[in-house]
Amino acid sequence: MSTRHLIAAALLVLGLLSALGSRQTGPTPVPVSGDIVLVGKFAGPTASSDASITAGMFLELADELEYDGLRAGGPHLATGVAFDDLRTRAFDLRCRGQKIGDRQPRARDAIKAYLTAKVGVSGGPVGPEQRAEWVKAMREIGRAAGDASQ
């Protein structure tokens, strides 16, 4: 085998290896968390931390609202205003007064739009069906924020 053939064979092998190494097995999967996607909505140096805190808080709030609705003596939280107040106070206490929404306006706006679409803006009484919708929406936000934190 001549030097020319060896060089050609080596280039062919390198080309094949390069093509195999860069070959994608399919499109990059997009995290699916119901109707809300927060991937790319958190930005800046605190993006991952803010998304993680948001995920944890919304998942915990969903659990609290669900538990409150199952209390034997009836729920302590019975209105949309009370639910939103719980959310606001929980974030304020957890974040020591810092506003994640101020740092992450795109995520804040997406979450607000999602909550408005899913549970509305009524601050009035919340029955079991509406409570279930709030719990579901908060869990979906929590999962979507968890996807965004990765």
Sequential DSSP letters for the chain: --HHHHHHHHHHHHHHHHHHHH--SSSPPPP--TT---TTT--STTHHHHHHHHHHHHHHHHHHHHHHHT-TT--S--BHHHHHHHHHHHHHHHTTT--HHHH-HHHHHHHHHHHHHHH-S--SB--HHHHHHHHHHHHHHHHHHHHHT-
User: Does residue 3 lie within any of the structural domains?
Assistant: no
Q: Which domain holds residue 91?
A: 47-148
User: Does residue 132 lie within any of the structural domains?
Assistant: yes
User: Does residue 10 lie within any of the structural domains?
Assistant: no
User: Does residue 130 lie within any of the structural domains?
Assistant: yes
**Average pLDDT score, the chain:** 84
Q: Which of 9-23, 29-43, 65-79 has the lowest mean pLDDT?
A: 9-23
pLDDT 10s digits, 123-134: 899 999 999 999
pLDDT 10s digits, 1-21: 554 544 544 444 445 444 444
User: Does residue 65 lie within any of the structural domains?
Assistant: yes
User: Does residue 114 lie within any of the structural domains?
Assistant: yes
pLDDT value at position 73? 93
Count how many domains the chain has: 1
User: Does residue 42 lie within any of the structural domains?
Assistant: no
User: Does residue 86 lie within any of the structural domains?
Assistant: yes
